[in-house]
Chain A
Amino acid sequence: MSARREALLWAAQRASAAMLALCVVVHLATMIYAAHAGLGAAQILERTRGNVVWLGFYSVFLLAVVVHVPIGLRAVLSEWLGWRGASRDAFLAAFAAGLGWLGARAILGVFL
Chain B
Amino acid sequence: MTTLQVRVWRGGPQGGDYRAYEVPRQASQSVLDVVTYIQRTLDPTLAYRFACRVGMCGSCAMTVNGVARWTCRTHVDQVCADGRLELAPLANLPVIRDLVADMREFFDKWARARGRFAGRRTRHDDFERVAPDSEPRRQVDAAIECIGCGVCYSSCDVVAWNPDYLGPAALNRAWTLQRDVRDAAQAERLRAVAGDAGCHACHTHLSCTERCPKHISPTAGIAGLKRAAAAAALKGEL
Interface set of A (CB-CB < 8 Å, partner B): 2-11, 14, 75, 78-80
Contacts and interface: CB of A to CB of B under 8 A. Distances in A.
A6 B162 contact: no
Interface in B189-213: 190-191, 194-196, 198, 200, 203
Contacts of A3: 190-191, 194-195, 198, 229, 233, 238
Interface residues of B, number: 18
Interface of B: 158, 161-162, 190-191, 194-196, 198, 200, 203, 226, 229-230, 232-234, 238
A8 B238 CA distance: 10
Identify the interface centre among A6, A7, A80: most chain B CB within 10 Å of its CB: A7
A4 B196 contact: no
Contact of B229 (A10, A75, A78, A80): A10
A2 B195 contact: yes
- Say whether chain B's binding surface is mostly helix, strand, loop, or mixed: helix
B162 A79 contact: yes
A14 B192 CA distance: 22
A71 to B, nearest CB: 11
Given A3-B238, A6-B200, A79-B158, A11 B195 contact: no
Contacts of A78: 162, 196
Given A7-B238, A11-B230, A75-B203, 15 more contacts: A2-B196, A3-B190, A3-B233, A5-B195, A6-B195, A6-B196, A6-B198, A7-B200, A7-B230, A7-B232, A7-B233, A8-B233, A8-B234, A11-B233, A11-B234
Given A79-B158, A79-B161, A6 B194 contact: yes
Contacts of B194: 2-4, 6-7
